[in-house]
Amino acid sequence: MGFSSIYAVSGSDIVYETFDGDAVVLDLASGRYFGFSDSGSCVWEALIAHVSPASLVGRDCGSGVIAADDLDAFIARLGEYGLLSPAAEVAPTALSPELAARLAAARDGLKIDMHDELADLVMVDPIHDVDEPAGWPAVRQ
């Protein structure tokens, strides 16, 4: 991946929400969901808001600063999981003061956890995948 790109969510199958500062990301295509450390949630929010990764390096993050190697590894994992990809022709934005303050108050280093124990349930969509003769829920093929 790298610091020269601006990033965006990889596609419409990637949905996310932030609850009390904690980002949760769901890949509807695979049924996997992802949780982040507090600093990881902040960096995720910054990256999908088109903040340049280079502008995040050296920022206060809890008891230290964001190291280039740590940020590069975090972005690479987001790419490997199919959550983030380079955005074409998007202008970078500045980190919001609110997000900068949350990042400075973060306690944990950059971390992402992938969970797939609910994948089978996520793949069943009882609201949209209704097959009249078979009933529902219908499992996506």
> Where along the chain do its domains lie?
7-116
Q: Which H helix or E strand runs over 112?
A: strand 112-115
Q: Closest by alpha carbon to 16, among 39, 44, 54, 51?
A: 44
Global pTM? 0.81
For residue 132, the model assigns a pLDDT of 56
Non-local (6+) Cβ contacts of 66 within 8 A are: 39, 43, 56, 57, 58, 59, 103, 110
Cα gap 52→136, rounded to integer Å: 44
For residue 85, the model assigns a pLDDT of 93
For residue 20, the model assigns a pLDDT of 85
Mean pLDDT of 28-35: 85
Half-sphere exposure of 95 (CA within 13 A, CB side): 22
106-131: per-residue pLDDT in tens?
988 899 999 877 656 555 554 445 55
Q: Is it true that the peptide bond before 97 is cis, omega within 30 degrees of 0?
A: no
Take residue 108 and report the two structure tokens written for it.
Answer: 């944990």
70-104: per-residue pLDDT in tens?
999 999 999 999 999 999 888 999 999 999 999 99
Non-local (6+) Cβ contacts of 134 within 8 A are: none
Which of 28-32, 78-82, 134-138 reaches the highest mean pLDDT? 78-82
35-72: per-residue pLDDT in tens?
999 999 999 999 999 999 999 999 988 778 999 999 99
Note whether 53 and 19 are within 8 A (CB).
no
Residue 72, phi then psi, degrees to nearest 5? -60, -45
3-state secondary structure of 69: helix
Note whether 1 and 85 are within 8 A (CB).
no
Output 106 or 140, whichever has higher pLDDT: 106
For residue 46, the model assigns a pLDDT of 96
For residue 105, the model assigns a pLDDT of 93
Cα gap 66→74, rounded to integer Å: 11
